[in-house]
Structure formats: C-alpha cells, structure tokens
Amino acid sequence: MTALLEVEGLTKRFPGVLANDAVSFAVERGQIHALLGENGAGKSTLVKMIYGSMRPDAGAMRLEGQPYAPTDPGAARRAGVGLVFQHFSLFDALTVAENVALGLPPEEAGADLAERIRKVSAAYGLPLDPERRVGELSVGARQRVEIVRCLLQRPRLLIMDEPTSVLTPQEVGQLFRTLRQLRDEGVSILYISHKLDEIRELCEAATILRHGRVTGRCDPRSESARSLAEMMIGQELAATRPLSAAPGEVRLTVRGLSLAADRPFGTALRDISFDLRAGEILGVAGVAGNGQDEFVEALSGERRAQHEAIRLDGAPIGAFGPDRRRRLGLCVAPEERLGHAAVPDMSLTENAILTARRRARLASRGGVLRLGAAARFARAVVERFDVRTAGVEHAARSLSGGNLQKFVVGREIMQNPAVLVVAQPTWGVDAGAAAAIRQALRDMAEAGAAVLAVSQDLDELMEISTRFAVMAGGRLSAPRPMAELSVEEIGRMMGGTGGEVAHAEA
Amino acid sequence: MDLSVLNPAAIGAALIVAATPLLFAALGELVVEKSGVLNLGVEGMMIVGAIAGFAAAVETGSPLLGVVASAAAGATLSAVFAFFALILMANQVATGLALTMFGLGLAAMLGQPYSGMPAPEFPALSLPVLSDLPFFGRLLFSHDPLVYLSLALTAGTWLWLGRSRAGLILRAVGENHHAAHAIGYRVTAIRFAAVLFGGACAGLGGGYLALVQTPLWVEGMTAGRGWIALAIVVFASWRPWRALLGAYVFGGVTIVQLNLQALGVSIQSQYLSMTPYLATILVLVLISGERRRAAEAPACLGKPFRAEG
Ligand SMILES: Nc1ncnc2c1ncn2[C@@H]1O[C@H](COP(=O)(O)OP(=O)(O)OP(=O)(O)O)[C@@H](O)[C@H]1O
Ligand SMILES: [Mg+2]
C-alpha cells in the first residue's frame, strides 16, 4: 500500500533564503506525523506548498499514489487536504459561520451551515457560536474556528501548523482527543509544534527539518523531549540556571486597578493590586479571555487607568500613554506579533524605531530619525536573539512566526527597561530559542529589572517565575512565591476560574 | 412669499431625478470599496459616461443605446484605473485623482461638437392606473425606467453583498486580503471585477445626468457629483439602503436649493451648493466619534495587495 502523501525533492527559494531544499518525506494513512524544526526551518513554507498556497520551485508530490500539484488552496481542499494556519486566516468583521463558509466549496456552504458548525463543534468538543463576529473572539476561540472549518471539509490529510501554541491545557487535551478520533477514522495528520512533550504524546512519526533540509526521521514516542530538541537544533541544549538574586526595591505598584470592558465580550478588570520588585519575575497564568489582554493593555498604557492606580518607582503613571511609560522605564511586549507588536509591512528597522525610539535614541530630539543607529539596534536584536532573517531591511511579515516573536521580545529586552511586561513570551518559538528568551528574562531580573510574564504555558511560568498569580474573571489572585507552591495548589488556583478567583490569602 | 408655485408631488419627483445619478455612482463605489479598493475617480468616470451616453444617443437616436454606451465608457475608464492600481500597484489615491482629471479633460474634448444639442427624449414609464393616481402617480409612477433600475440595483446590491456567496467573498477580500489569498481566493481578479462594476455604475450615473436629468451636454456638468457620491458611501457606512437614503438627502438639498431660488429667497446659490459638502463633513465627524461605526470600513480599504510565493 502506498503512503497517503509522498513529497519528493520540494524546493522553495525566497530572496536571500533557501526555505526548503529538496525536502522528501511521506505521511502514511491514518498516521499522525510530526514536522519538527527550529524557527525558520521551513515548516510553514513546506505545508503551504502542500496546501497549494505557494508553488514549489522544484520537486513533486503524490497523493494516494497519484501525481498531486495543487495550483491553489481550493484544489488542495478538493483533493482532501485541509490546513489550520499558523497565523489565522480569519476575517474579523465577518461571523463565524461566514468565515467557515469561505473555506468550503459552494455546494457545502448552504443554509444549514450554522447547524453543521454546531454539530461538528459539539462532536469534537470545540465550542463555537456560529453567529458571533470573529473579531470579538479570544485567540483560542479563533483557533477553534479554523479547526472546525477544516473538519467540515472531511479531509483525508489535515495539516496543523502550531495549533496548540495558544490553547489552554484543557483545550489541548480536547484537541488531542479530536485528532485521535480523526486518526481512527482514517485521516492522516501532519502536525507542527514546538511543544515536544505534546509531540511525544501524540505523534507516531516525525520528520526533522533544519535550514530547509530534512536532517532526520524518528519515532518521537521513543525519544525524550531533550533528544528531540537536540536533533532539531543540532547541538546540546543549555540547561537554564535558577534565579539567584534576592528581590529588591518595589518598582511597580498597582493598587485597586479597575477598568470597564471596552469591547463587546471583553472582560472588565476588577480591583487588581500587586507589587513587583526588582529582581523578580511574576508569572501570571489563567485561561485565555479572563482579562489578560485588558491587563496587559492597562499596564502598557494602551488603555488609560486611574492615575494613582499604577505607580512606577512610586510616581503615578496610570494616565500616561505607552510612549511616556516607556520613557519612564516600563516596556511591554504584547501578545499578538503580527499587527499589534509589529507592523507587518514595515521593515525590522522601522519596527525597532516604533518602540525603541526614545530609550535606544533612534531619533534626535527634533524628531529626525537616526536610521543608521536604528539599523544597528535592529541588527543587535537579531544577533543576540538569533532571529533568522535575510536582513533588517526586510518586512516583519516575511519572518517566520517564531523568529518575529524573538524579535519583538528582544526589542523590548534590549531597551533595558526597569520593568518589563511580556505576554506569551515564547509563543511559537522553538525549544532552543525559547530557552534563550527565558534565560534573557532571568538575566534581566538578575541585573535588577522587574519582570511580569503573562502566559498560558504553565510549564514556562513554573520554570521562570519567582512568584505566581492567576487571573480569572478580571481579578488577579494574590501573588505567591513559586517555591512554596505545589503543582496541585497551582491546579487549584487555576481551577477557580468560574468567574471567582481562587482565594487570595493576603 | 407665494407658496402656491410649489407642487409637492413635482418637487418629490424632481428630488428622485436629482438623486438617481448620485445613487448609481454611490452604489458602484460602495461595491468597489467593499472589495478593499478606493477609487477616487468617480467624478471622471461619471463625466465620461455622460458624454459617451449623450453622443451615442444623438448619433443613433436611441436613448437606450446611450445608456449602454455610458456604462461601457465608465467601465472602460475604470479598467485603466484597475490596471494601474491593481496590476502595477500604483498608489490608489493618486491614480484615482489622475483618473478624475483625465476624465474631465477627455469629456470636454469629446463633447465639443455636442454642445447645445438636444438629446433624444427618454420615454417615461406610463402605467395604466398607477400613473394616473393623484399625487403618487406623479411622485412614484411616472419616472423613466432608469429610476426603477437604480432602486432595483440598491436592493440587488444589498441582497448580493449580504446574502450571496459571491458577495461574501467580495467582503472577505476587502476585509483581509492576505487571509482571502491564503484560503485561495483570487484577490486581484475579484477587485478588478468590482472596479469594473463601479465604473459601469458611475458611467450610468453620468449618462442619466446627460440624458434624463438635464438633458443636455454641458462641459463639466457633473459639477462635483462624483465627490458627493464618494461621501455618500462613507455616510452610508457601506450599506446599500443607507446609500439610497444618502443619495435622496443630497438630491433633496439640490432641489430645495432650486425651489428656494424660485421662491425668491435671497441666499447666494453658492452657499446652497455648499450644503451637501458641509453636511458630509458634519456626518463624517459624527460617525468617526462612534467606535462601532468607524470599524465598519473595510479593513483593507486602499491597501495594495501583492501575492507572495
Ligand atoms: N514570503 C516570504 N518572503 C521571504 N522570505 C520568507 C517568506 N516566507 C518565509 N520566508 C523565510 O523562509 C524561511 C522559512 O520560513 P517558515 O515560515 O517556513 O519557517 P517555520 O519553520 O515555519 O518557522 P516557525 O517555527 O518560526 O514558524 C525563513 O527564513 C523565513 O524568513
Ligand atoms: Mg511557521
């Protein structure tokens, strides 16, 4: 019996990079096949070619033994190939049902579509309301829209490009049940993720890419996460050092911060209070959509709060905007990298200027840009955080997802802020680079900065945080030292998410 | 002041006639903008439509052929825009402005021999009972077929955009062209088609002006109606029925101004001519304050699209 999908010598070249270099591999029927590789290894490029949204420069594919060369995604879908994109391909102004309809052939997008969406989302445990506008949904719910859109096409091959980066542990568990169910129904799955434990749990075969070339194949079930990571980056993984410095002065004080929700289905912040000291990393966990976005916006100054509610080194800053706060030493790296943290169509240099203009002196007092200095700054970020790009003059959009993430986090770190707030610092970043980002956050804290990390990745928070708090229903639990928390206790704190906070014993 | 010179049914009917060219042009531009393209050449396409329609009607003696010619001329001119803005990816604003200036010049040149000629009469609809109704017969049931076409077009555009799959795809392209491309829609081709439709509608609006409303050829006769149509699209927050409302409001302003002059009210006509523009600015200011409304603009409006890969 032939494999479901055979890929032979696929090659794709972009200006300055060979993204895929004669890649060959095969996905068997009913197999969950992992595609591994560090950021910029060429995984997304490869699956875009399989899905017909990019054409290979050379090479051939066969689907069930037949030559397969999709000229556009519609052709791929008709052949039974579905893709969940790494960067969502959704339309904010349209409803869930309309978004789904756009990905289906016309004869399938009939009047009963809303009903079928409800059915599929119930059958696979992916709750969705077809009438809601996508712009109002949380990141996790948007992902469910993409997944349901694929499932409705009853694909033979389902490709998932980092589907779990933004899901909560419960959602991941549910997704895995869904995927196993699909596999048992005979669907093949090509699965991209940087979460190696997930891959070991889920996948039966793996193909490893490095710099656009296949460098290995293995059965992930018989490897350790560490050995997989080392196969990916081709060298030994550095272990992270524990944080040694004792906490110092209070840098950031938040007292009674409350903010009404500013968008439909947003979460209001209620009476948030905490202190953030120099030399510590406060990890904020919580299920997505419990006010984390609003919290980060209130801290960054994108939304103004009561002036006295937020103090930096004792001085109130609640009514200041992002630019002024940054000048005073509070930098923020928000969650969504394309469009929020970075302007997709601007170059890396220009994106560097946008937030580092003052702190890194990338403009003169009169407002004239110092382009040479800006390019040097951008290059320094690229070098220190190992951002894979052909050059800082390239548009942010052209970077692979993880590489852009490294850039936007690195850009803030390199401004040496007194207080750094990061949201999902290693979203979609490969194991090696994630370790580097986490280490950079620790180094900052050790050098006397105060760090606040909002993340849905509990393992990450447990690894880097010195104190830990949970956000639920717009409230923040009282932060507790990480060292005195057991996994069960964290679970209990997370569990109180029904709108009430896990008890804050402060 | 002698109010007896005013006949409400006649004023209403005149209002509808004055609004119709605006409605055609606004509906066309609405579809164009929904696809994510900003074509500021409406004025140019209207006036070229006007002269093409007038000339064709005079030469052939058939007003119907005139109408067809005006739509074709508007579409042809918009194809030039689409080629520059969508294929060569020239700046849309600059290209649209150039189109307006080019259209005005071209129409003036082509129109020279037709100055002062009468146009063949456009037959008005005459329905056995309805047209003879008192008041409503004159107001609603004695118009030329194009008025009814414009109303049908409003309903059609509304249905098509909101209820049809093709309309959904068009909106998707205007909302997020990268996503639309990633799913497999041909962004440039869809936008090209939308621009052609917009051009045909603008041409039709111009044709109506020259063949029915005036009906004469006068150089520069569109007199800013293309710009008003653009404003109506924003005023309507990209919704066809509101575009109808907008067109009738602005049409009404024109008629009120004429009737005030007939009544001998001594406001300088220039002030009255300014009212549509002032109203537009006022409306835009009011709308932009509202967050929800501002978010109704197609997210990719005016952004060039380049397919990658
Ligand atoms: N449209 C494009 N134009 C230019 N270069 C591109 C383009 N798309 C991708 N690249 C480059 O091709 C390489 C591979 O990118 P790709 O997105 O496939 O990586 P990836 O393996 O998916 O990484 P990640 O895990 O970070 O998502 C990168 O160096 C990237 O910068
Ligand atoms: Mg990728």
- The CATH number for B229's domain is 1.10.3470.10
Ligand nearest to the CA of A344: 1
Mean pLDDT of A322-330: 93
> CB within 6 Å of ligand 1 — which residues?
A 14, 17, 19, 37, 39-45, 86, 388-389, 398-403, 428, 430; B 308-309
Select from A174, A199, A233 the last residue of a domain. Answer: A233
Q: Which residue has the higher pLDDT, A473 or B263?
A: A473
Residue having the nearest C-alpha atom to atom 16 of ligand 1: A42
Mean pLDDT of A256-270: 83
pLDDT tens for A196-217 read 888 888 999 999 998 889 988 9
List all residues 6 or more positions away from B14 whose beta carbon is below 8 Å from its beta carbon.
Answer: B255, B258
- Rounded-to-integer distance, Cα B305 and Cα B309, Å: 13
Confidence at residue A163, expressed as pLDDT on a 0 to 100 scale: 77
Chain A residues with CB within 8 Å of chain B CB:
12, 48, 52-55, 72-77, 85, 88-94, 98, 101-103, 106, 109, 135, 398
Confidence at residue B207, expressed as pLDDT on a 0 to 100 scale: 95
Contact between B56 and B72 under an 8 Å Cβ cutoff? The reply is no
Contact between B46 and B102 under an 8 Å Cβ cutoff? The reply is no
pLDDT tens for B169-217 read 999 999 999 899 988 899 999 999 999 999 999 999 999 999 988 888 9
pLDDT tens for A12-41 read 998 888 999 999 999 999 999 999 888 888
List all residues 6 or more positions away from A46 whose beta carbon is below 8 Å from its beta carbon.
Answer: A7, A10, A12, A20, A23, A35, A209
pLDDT-derived band at B3 (thresholds 50, 70, 90) equals: low
Select from A233, A260, A285 the last residue of a domain. Answer: A233
Count of beta carbons in the 10 Å neighbourhood of residue A332: 23
Give the SS3 label for residue A270.
strand
Nearest ligand 1 atom, CA A389: 31
Has residue B115 got a pLDDT over 90? no
What residue numbers bound the domain in which B58 lies?
3-120+146-296
Has residue B292 got a pLDDT over 70? no
| Inter-CA distances, A320 with A286, A311, A423, Å | 27, 11, 20
Report the candidate in A270, A212, A421 with the shortest Cα–Cα distance to residue A331.
Answer: A421
Same domain, A82 and A175: yes
Same domain, A91 and A197: yes
Ligand nearest to the CA of A211: 1
Same domain, A226 and A256: no
Select from A175, A205, A233 the last residue of a domain. Answer: A233
The secondary structure of residue B219, as a DSSP letter, is T
Q: Which helix (H) or strand (E) holds A78?
A: helix A73-78
Has residue B131 been placed in a domain? no
Has residue A317 got a pLDDT over 90? yes
Has residue A84 got a pLDDT over 90? no
Residues of chain B found within 8 Å of residue A106, distances taken between Cβ atoms:
165
Has residue B226 got a pLDDT over 60? yes
Same domain, A106 and A207: yes
Residues of chain B found within 8 Å of residue A398, distances taken between Cβ atoms:
308
Mean pLDDT of B126-145: 72
**Nearest by CB to B183, which of A93, A94, A102?**
A102
Mean pLDDT of A34-51: 90
Confidence at residue A498, expressed as pLDDT on a 0 to 100 scale: 34
Has residue A469 got a pLDDT over 90? yes
Q: How far is the CA of B174 from the centre of ligand 2 (A)?
A: 25
b/e per residue A235-260 (b: at least 16 CB within 10 A): eeeeeeeebeeebeeebbbbeebebe
pLDDT-derived band at A142 (thresholds 50, 70, 90) equals: confident
Contact between A304 and A468 under an 8 Å Cβ cutoff? The reply is no
Has residue B83 been placed in a domain? yes
| Count of structural domains, chain A | 2
Confidence at residue B276, expressed as pLDDT on a 0 to 100 scale: 65
The angle formed by the CA atoms of residues B156, B159 and B163, to the nearest 5 degrees, is 150
Question: Could you please report the per-residue DSSP string of A277-336?
Answer: ETT-EEEEE--TTSSHHHHHHHHHTSS---GGGEEETTEE-TT--HHHHHHHTEEEE-S-
- The CATH number for A305's domain is 3.40.50.300
Share of chain B above pLDDT 70, in %: 87
Confidence at residue A497, expressed as pLDDT on a 0 to 100 scale: 38
Which range, A386-400, A404-418, B194-208, has the best average confidence (pLDDT)?
B194-208
Of the given ranges (A246-250, A264-268, B15-19), which has the lowest mean pLDDT? A264-268
Residue having the nearest C-alpha atom to atom 22 of ligand 1: A44
Contact between B182 and B307 under an 8 Å Cβ cutoff? The reply is no
pLDDT tens for A119-139 read 888 887 788 889 998 888 877
Q: How far off is chain B from A256, nearest CA to CA, in Å?
A: 27
| Count of structural domains, chain B | 1
Q: Which residues pair with A35 in a beta bridge?
A: A192, A207
Token pair 């996508």: residue: A134
Q: How far off is chain B from A42, nearest CA to CA, in Å?
A: 13
Radius of gyration over alpha carbons of chain B, in Å? 20
Confidence at residue A506, expressed as pLDDT on a 0 to 100 scale: 32
Mean pLDDT of B254-278: 72
pLDDT-derived band at B241 (thresholds 50, 70, 90) equals: very high
Token pair 């000229």: residue: A71
Paired sense of beta strands A310-312 and A315-316, if any? antiparallel
Count of beta carbons in the 10 Å neighbourhood of residue A497: 17
Same domain, A279 and A426: yes
pLDDT-derived band at A500 (thresholds 50, 70, 90) equals: very low
Count of beta carbons in the 10 Å neighbourhood of residue A117: 25
Has residue A382 been placed in a domain? no
What residue numbers bound the domain in which A143 lies?
5-233
Backbone angles phi, psi at A422, to 5 degrees: -125, 140
Q: How far is the CA of A259 from the centre of ligand 2 (A)?
A: 35
Chain A CA closest to residue B304: A345
Same domain, A459 and A315: yes
List all residues 6 or more positions away from B207 whose beta carbon is below 8 Å from its beta carbon.
Answer: B49, B50, B52, B53, B54, B66, B67, B69, B70, B71
Q: ipTM of the assembly? A: 0.81
Share of chain A above pLDDT 70, in %: 93
Has residue A213 been placed in a domain? yes
Of the given ranges (A237-241, A343-347, B79-83), which has the lowest mean pLDDT? A237-241
Mean pLDDT of A422-430: 86
Of the given ranges (A63-72, A85-94, B130-139, B176-185), which has the lowest mean pLDDT? B130-139
Q: Which residue has the higher pLDDT, B44 or B136?
A: B44
Nearest ligand 1 atom, CA A38: 25
**Nearest by CB to A73, which of B171, B175, B183?**
B183
CB pair distance less than 8 Å for A89 and B178: yes
Residues of chain B found within 8 Å of residue A89, distances taken between Cβ atoms:
176, 178-180, 182-183
CB pair distance less than 8 Å for B172 and A102: yes
Has residue A268 got a pLDDT over 50? yes
Mean residue pLDDT of chain B comes to 87
Same domain, A221 and A330: no
Has residue B133 been placed in a domain? no
